[in-house]
Each structure stands twice: as structure tokens, then as C-alpha cells.
Amino acid sequence: MELKGYGKGNWILEYFKVILAFIAAKLFPNTSGKKIVLVGGNLGEKYEDNAAVLHRYLINHYADEMSIYWLYDPNTAYVKEQNIPNAIALGSWENYVLFFQADYSFHGHSILYDLAPFAPHFLLLNDKTVMTHVSHGIEGFKKILIQKEDLPQLERTDFFNCASQFERRIKRNEWGIPEEKLIVTGFPRFDRYPADQPAKRVKRVLVMMTWREWLLESGTKEFEQSDYYLNTYGLLQHEGIQKLLEEQDMEVTVALHPFMQRFEKHFEEISSGRIRFVAFEELSISKAIEENDMLLTDITSVSWDFLYLNKPIIFYLFDQEDWETKRGIYLDLNKDLYGYKAKTAEDVYGFLKEITGGVNFNKWYSMAPQFIDFFDQDNCKRLTDRVFGTKRTE
């Protein structure tokens, strides 16, 4: 599945640029005495998630002995706004030279989207870099869609970090990743906050639904007739829920998954009263997780963060059958959920009344160790201790 148009532009120019960068990296090797580390995530569009947290850790702990670079989409402005050091534009000449010079790299989605556009076409030229996939969320819901073009990237990646033994089993048994490539060191993004931090009272609700690949090419009319739109929009218009928000002095923040950006216009008008719609460009997911007291979602990976923090979760599974038949799910949605399960807006309303009645914590918090192995905020340390010092032998 193409999430961006990498590799679809002037391929002759890109090949020429890559070959020249490869030659330059060989003729002018790194002589600084510092190891080169590349970090990228969120398709270069945001400084969020595991990759960003790890990058900040590296800057704070390894800047004296390593040259650490963040890779970003040149069409964005966040690098300047957040003053991110050593930021390199994806697809630039410097990006490709560093790609061939790097000693280590860490990516959240894929080598193609986070480290080097056009990468699948020249991966064999890079036999030096120790590459680690840090992921962007715990695998447990949507089954991975491994395409033929993904196989070289998976094979080239040296390590796949896992949040737990639970996730390691998925990556071994479902993805087919060799045992020696799987490392369980915890997720960097969980280092941002202490575990088990429920709010004293639930007043702020984050509504975040994940993406659906079967809707990405929908036209306006088709999208507005979809279960996704009708149920999400209808939920926010539910009379009982709106009344409850007023009575309990609550605020709701609604955000779509970044892959659903093109549909944001269909939801902008819901921003009124107690409900606020936030566009992807304006949203900081890390702040949203910290600032909101509970999550209302379908099967987004953000739910793992709310479980880690012992905050209530309502899983709104109006299209459970679609997920199970069109994509496939690793968990049993009838048995393994770590929150309230709602099928209708009326179900959501009933659970919200229970939560606002005094259930400010996650009633399924005891399940957290089944999915998350570490709660000590040392995940970045464990990961870097494991990876650094490794050299490629192939």
C-alpha cells in the first residue's frame, strides 16, 4: 500500500542521485570518530511516537560520542517550530549520503517512509547500517498487511523491538520474523510518563478512531454513507451524550488518524459546545494522551498508552465484523479487550455514565502486564544498550 508517492517521481533522477550518494559515501567515509545514527518515524510528518522519544534520548545521552540525525518530510514546518537538532530532509542528497554512511538507524514505520525514499530499489547497496524497527504502537489489533515490496525491507532490518513477550510472539508467529531479530526492550514512548496515573475525575475525553484502508479511495458520497462516518458522527450527535457532557462539565477532543486526513472536512462542523475537532496538523498525540482522562476509540494503538496509564477506555466496535473479515485481528475482540466494549452509541452513553459516576480508573488494568513487560521508564536505555555495539556480519 502506497502511503506516499515515494518512487513514483522521476525515477531516473532518483537513481542517479542515489548512485552518486553511494559513491560519495565510499570515497569520503565518515572520519569524525563519531558513529552516525539516523532516526525517523511518522513518515517524517511529525515528531511523535517511539522514534521521536528515542531521538530525544539519544540527543540527551549520546551527543558527545555519536552524530545523531532526525529525518523529516521537507513539506512540513515542525522541525523549525520545535527546534529539532540535526534534522535532514527526506529525499535530499545529504539524506542518501548519510543513509550509506550510518552505523545505526531506527525507524517507526518502514525504511522507505522514515529513513530513505526510494529505499527498496537500493537496499542491497547498504551493507553497513544496523537497522532497528522500533514500531509506532503495540501490535495486537490490525494484522499487518505485508506486501511483496515490503519483504526486502523486513529482511534487511536487523532488529525488531517489542514491547513485550506478547508482541514478540506476534512478530515471530504472524510476521515470520526470525527469533534472533526480535528484542524485547519495551517501547520508548512509555518513557514519557510514569505508569498508573488515572485522573482524580474524568473530565476530558479523547475520541480517536484508527484508519480503514477500504475507505481511503472513497469519494465524498461513498464516505458519508460508510459505517465509519455514520457511526462516528452520529455518536457525537447523541442527545444523551451531549447532555451528560454538560451536566458533568466535560470536554471532548476528536481527532482522525493521519491516514484519514482527507476526510477531516466532514467532521469540522462538529466543533461546538463541549466537543472540539482537532486536525492532524494541530494535534500532538503525546500531549493528548497526557491531558485527557479517558479514551473513546475503536482499535487504535493509542489505547495501549491509556491502559499503561490506568485510564478508562471505551472500545466503540460498530464495525467489528468488517475488521475481522477485511483486515484480520490478532486479539479476540470478544474476550481480550482491556476496556468497555460498545457496539452502539447507546452503549457508549451507558458506559460514560458509569465512568462519570466515579470509575476514574481502568477496570481492566490488571491485564496490562499481559501486553506490556516494562513499567520503569527505562525502555530507551534498554533498547540502546542492546543495539549499540552490534555490527553487521552479513
The closest of 155, 94, 106, 98 to 130, measured between CA atoms, is: 106
**Contact between 172 and 182 (Cβ < 8 Å):** yes
Round to whole Å and give the CA distance between 159 and 71. Answer: 19
The closest of 91, 95, 88, 101 to 23, measured between CA atoms, is: 101
Q: Residue 51 has which C-alpha cell?
A: 522514534
State phi, psi for 10 to the nearest 5 degrees: -80, 90
- The per-residue pLDDT for 9 is 56
Most distant CA pair in the chain: distance in Å? 69
**Contact between 106 and 23 (Cβ < 8 Å):** no
- The per-residue pLDDT for 257 is 87
pLDDT in tens, 277-290: 998 888 888 899 99
Range list of H helices, the chain? 11-27, 49-62, 78-81, 93-101, 111-114, 151-156, 165-173, 220-224, 227-236, 239-247, 285-291, 302-308, 320-322, 345-356, 368-371, 379-387
Q: How confident is the model at residue 210 (pLDDT cuts 50, 70, 90)?
A: very high
The closest of 26, 22, 38 to 387, measured between CA atoms, is: 38
Q: In this model, does residue 203 exceed pLDDT 70?
A: yes
- The per-residue pLDDT for 388 is 95
Comparing 85-99, 115-129, 174-188, 380-394, which segment has the lowest mean pLDDT?
Answer: 380-394
**Contact between 114 and 41 (Cβ < 8 Å):** yes
pLDDT in tens, 48-64: 899 999 999 999 999 99
**Contact between 306 and 368 (Cβ < 8 Å):** no
Q: How confident is the model at residue 15 (pLDDT cuts 50, 70, 90)?
A: confident
Taking residues 334-360, report their average pLDDT. 97
**Contact between 119 and 7 (Cβ < 8 Å):** no
Instruction: Report CA-CA distances (Å) from 41 to 26, 69, 90.
Output: 27, 12, 11
| Contacts of range 331-336, beta carbons closer than 8 Å, 24 or more positions apart | 331/140, 331/141, 333/299
- The per-residue pLDDT for 1 is 47
pLDDT in tens, 358-388: 999 999 999 999 999 999 999 999 999 999 9
- The per-residue pLDDT for 8 is 54
CB neighbour class for 377 (10 Å; exposed up to 12, middle 13-18, buried from 19): middle
Task: Name the pTM for this structure.
Answer: 0.92
Round to whole Å and give the CA distance between 102 and 98. Answer: 6
Instruction: Give me the sign of the Cα torsion angle 81, 82, 85, 86.
Output: negative
- 3 state SS of 208: strand
Residue with cell 495501549: 304
Round to whole Å and give the CA distance between 379 and 191. Answer: 6
Round to whole Å and give the CA distance between 380 and 53. Answer: 8
- 3 state SS of 329: strand
- The per-residue pLDDT for 13 is 82
- The per-residue pLDDT for 2 is 54
pLDDT in tens, 224-255: 999 999 999 999 999 999 999 999 999 999 99
- The per-residue pLDDT for 58 is 98
Residue with cell 479517558: 294
